[in-house]
Chains A and B, each alone.
Chain A
Amino acid sequence: MSPWLAGAVVLLAGAAMPAWWMASRGSAVDRLVGVELGSVVVTLELILFSQATGESQYLIVPLVLALLSAAGTLVYTRLLAPRSRRS
């Protein structure tokens, strides 16, 4: 097992699990924090997987995920915010 693959396993077991746990319990805001942490962990996981396999074309997946997760989180913060009285 290469160190990159070992790192991917460590990240999956050590970081993705608590993020998944936070994303599945508590209030909506609590779960959103779990989703934010989880998307960062999965992005890094995919970079490590690309390094482990030596396939650089796989890097397009974490690149798109980093862009979409940032935009998606901002949409969630907009949707979860309380409604304005004027609107």
Chain B
Amino acid sequence: MNAVHGVMWALLAAGLAVVVLSCWAALALRRVYNRLHLLTPATSIGAPLIGIAAAIADGPGLTTAQVLFIVVLLAVTGPVLEAATGRMAAQREGLTRRESPQ
């Protein structure tokens, strides 16, 4: 096993650890707003780490581009979905107006 493989497995392990810990921490927390904070580490840290590990394994090519596109898509949409869900939860609890923000 050379250094590149070592880095690849380390990135994979780190990505898996981030995703698993995020899920268990979200399960441990009770409030929706606290749980929502743990969605972003999984999408913006865990997924890119796993994607980079897969990119190192595959090398340059179409497969790598597709994997990286998927993890970038997850990283971009994760915070957007988190914000949309938080806003909806606040509207249901009457903490913010239905129309805000426009």
Contact = CB atoms under 8 A, between A and B. Distances in A.
Contacts, number: 132
A77 B22 CA distance: 22
A63 B54 contact: no
Contacts of B32: 27, 29-30, 33
B74 A15 contact: no
A25 to B, nearest CB: 10
Interface residues of A, number: 42
Interface of B: 9, 12-13, 15-16, 19-20, 22-24, 26-27, 32, 35-36, 38-39, 42-43, 46-47, 50-51, 54, 57-58, 62-63, 66-67, 69-71, 73-74, 77-78, 80-82, 84-85, 87-89, 91-92, 98-99
Contact of B81 (A27, A41, A73): A73
Mostly, the A contact residues are: helix
A44 B9 CA distance: 16
A63 B50 CA distance: 15
